Amino acid sequence: MARFRFAASAALVALSFHASQAMADEGMWTFDAFPTARMQQDHGWAPDARWLGRVQAAAVRLTGGCSASFVSPEGLILTNHHCIVECAQDNSTDQRDLLKDGFVPARREEELKCPGQQAEVVTAISDVTTRVKAAIGTSMGEALVKARDAEVARIEKEGCRNASIKRCEVVTLFGGGQYKLYTYRKYSDVRLAWAPQFQAAFFGGDPDNFNYPRYALDAAFLRAYENGRPVRTPAHLAWSSRGPKVGEATFVVGNPGSTQRLFTSDQIAFQREVGLPLTTTILSELRGRMISAMDKSPQQKREGADELFGIENSLKVYIGRQRALNDPVFLKMLSDAEADLKAKAMGKPGIGDPWADTAKAVQAYRDIYVPWRFIVPRSALMEQAMTLVQGAAEREKPNADRLPEFRDSNLELTTKTLLDEAPVYPWMEQLELEWSLSKAREYLGADDPDTRLLLGKDSPEALAERLVGGTSLADAAARKALWEGGSAVIAASTDPMIVYARRIEARERELKKLVDERYAGPLAQAGARLADARFMAYGNSVYPDATFTLRISYGKVQGWKERGQDVSPVTTIGGAFDRATGAEPFNLASGFAQSEAKIDKTLPFDFVTTNDIIGGNSGSPVIDREGSVIGAAFDGNVHSIGGNYGYQGDVNRTVVVSTAAITHALAVIYPAPALLKELGVQ
């Protein structure tokens, strides 16, 4: 499969700029700036506004960090299996393991609610650049961040009067060059409608992640509900069960999470020299701790699976980025692009030297990075404790002054995420706390004031045990009481996790203030000028960096050359049987083995396209010229990882599970005749 979804919390640096002039098939375009002429030129055809409008209306964003699409009039949603693993796990018991066995409900009434999941569809996009820039005015540093965030809060609140079904989000594009208000229709009751066995979806496991050829049925169906009934979705994509044709045009519509394609050379250097070495090192240790801990019992193995896959997926991304930034050829491509832009725009009126300002901000960030990174130890319960403690204080402030997650526009989702029932695994909480506390001490030093604040006289092990053993936050009712109780109840709480969150909160705020003042503020200021520089140099031929908002990419079904060898673009279902060794993770799912006689091994399984995507695009529909869905994107090849910094059209590939394979699975492997009918097959 490959966790090609977007994990915002794991992002190294979320601030981002946009790419220079795009190459063929490069680009994660906004719907309002689709490069029709360019595609027309490259592919001899391009979609019109009506086509784009139809497709946009069927595109779904999942709050878990994935993309998806409506594929029936009754709220049926196609996405990746790896986007529903957490849901399947949350609904599993000792008696019924939905990951091991898959999930094929006999009737709709058996579809299972996914805790914390929400589906969102864009209904309007409007440009609010003038308003936000006016509010920023000439302010700098932390004041800039505050002025911007306050105006954003106001715009979002005005835009969404009915917060129970709408969500408003102001998105920063081009690193501050544009601000747009996205309005979403949201569905907060999302249920699992069909899932193959985990082993069918994840055949090849972590070793195959970001690799190709692949044989993974990384697909699943969800359904949006409202008032206990399936949502009506007349705007949906037609289902095509034909296989992909080599060379045909393909569109990927979804929410790429984050790219850093026009980081200045100083931002790149920070990642190469500081961010990535630290991240790959400490995350590898966490991976190792998880692997051995999961070895203790089948139960821990099951409970830890999703977390481990998330860690391994992130790690592969960071290792791949580190490799890209340690490749002198790749680095030169980036610095050549920067040199071209500088030559065209530096020193021009209104531009000045934003590169120097960025360099200064990055230099300042180097001093704050380590404490900022470690000040809140990692654990699900700790995150909830911080939400409770900060939320109590924030909700007493006027909307415009609050931290973004507590603004009226986000409060409902924050509340839902906090209060939804979801299992907590104390051993894993403790493991992650021990890990992050010991890493904090390692990188800050044993005698550092922040280490003393985090540990006091405790060891990481003793502290983690005390916090996890003593807290009642695992109980949703306890969280609800603290959330609704507000400041007084939080201040009076003796829950050790709350007491601890209170202990670190002030320092966390102080560090955030420093980051805003010296880094985020100056970068936003420089970013707007870098954006202007790019518009000046390249006009409209540019697209913004990814921001986990709706984009469209065009490309085609095409293989590539790997070390001189042609990689064929389409695999067959039979290939999975050939490749299976019997040993994890290359063991065939039992459903495949048992249905072998009925399976048509010549059918297409997975395929690759030249579409330009990135984490967050997981589950995105892959659409043909007719506007029908022919697959679900679930990964990129190994060359797609460097795509964070730049697109290499000759080798960067999107990996897709074909609707042909999904249809065949619905027919003979994990039979769901009602779904086939709903999809209009037969």
Please give the C-alpha separations between residue 208 and each of 306, 316, 499, 501, in angstroms, as whole numbers.
16, 11, 43, 39
Question: Any idea of the CA torsion for 481, 486, 491, 496, to the nearest 10 degrees?
Answer: 40
Is there a contact between 114 and 191 (Cβ–Cβ < 8 Å)? yes
CB of 219 to a copy of itself, least distance (A): 22
In the complex with a copy of itself, the residue whose CB is nearer, 53 or 207, is: 207
Three-state DSSP at 33 gives: helix
| Least separation in angstroms between CB 279 and a copy of itself | 10
Indicate the residue among 364 and 668 with the shorter CB distance to a copy of itself: 364
Closer Cβ to a copy of itself, 267 or 617, answer by number: 267
CA–CA gap between residue 292 and residue 310 (Å, rounded): 16
- Give 469 or 673: the residue with its C-beta nearer to a copy of itself: 469
**Which of 89, 32, 130 has its CA nearest to residue 552?**
32
Residue 541 in contact with residue 24, Cβ under 8 Å? no
Residues for the chain: how many in total?
A: 682
CB of 401 or CB of 465, closer to a copy of itself? 465
Q: Least separation, in Å, of the C-beta of 541 and a copy of itself? A: 33
Rounded least distance, CB 272 to a copy of itself, Å: 7
Q: In a 3-state reduction of DSSP, which class is residue 360?
A: helix
Give the nearer residue to a copy of itself in terms of CB position, either 216 or 249.
216
Task: Identify the CA nearest to 156 among candidates 189, 176, 120, 132.
Answer: 132
- Both tokens of 456, joined, read 């006091």
Q: What is the C-alpha end-to-end distance of the chain, expressed in Å?
A: 28
| Residue 436 CB, nearest approach to a copy of itself (Å) | 12
- The nearer residue to a copy of itself, 274 or 478, going by C-beta atoms, is 274
In angstroms, what is the minimal distance from the CB of 374 to a copy of itself? 14
Three-state secondary structure string covering 406-453? HCHHHHHHHHHHHHCCCCCCHHHHHHHHHHHHHHHHHHHCCCCHHHHH
Cβ contacts of 2 within 8 Å, gap of 6 or more: 82, 208, 209, 210, 216, 218, 313, 634, 635, 636, 655
Tell me the CA distances in angstroms from 303 to 91, 431, 580, one per residue in order: 12, 13, 26
Closest distance of CB 313 from a copy of itself, Å: 13
| Nearer Cβ to a copy of itself (328/349) | 328
Q: Which is nearer to a copy of itself, 127 or 367 (CB)?
A: 367
238's CB contacts (< 8 A; 6+ apart) are: 626, 627, 628, 629, 680
Minimum CB separation of residue 587 from a copy of itself in Å reads 9
Least distance (Å) between residue 316 CB and a copy of itself = 9
Using the minimum distance from each CB to a copy of itself, give the nearer residue, 340 or 442.
442
- Shortest Å, Cβ 484 to a copy of itself: 36
Burial (CB count <10 Å: 0-12, 13-18, 19+), residue 470:
middle
Give the residues lining the site for a copy of itself (CB under 8 A). 204, 206-208, 211, 272-274, 277, 280-282, 284-293, 295-296, 319, 322-323, 326-328, 431, 435, 441-442, 445-446, 457-459, 461-462, 581-586
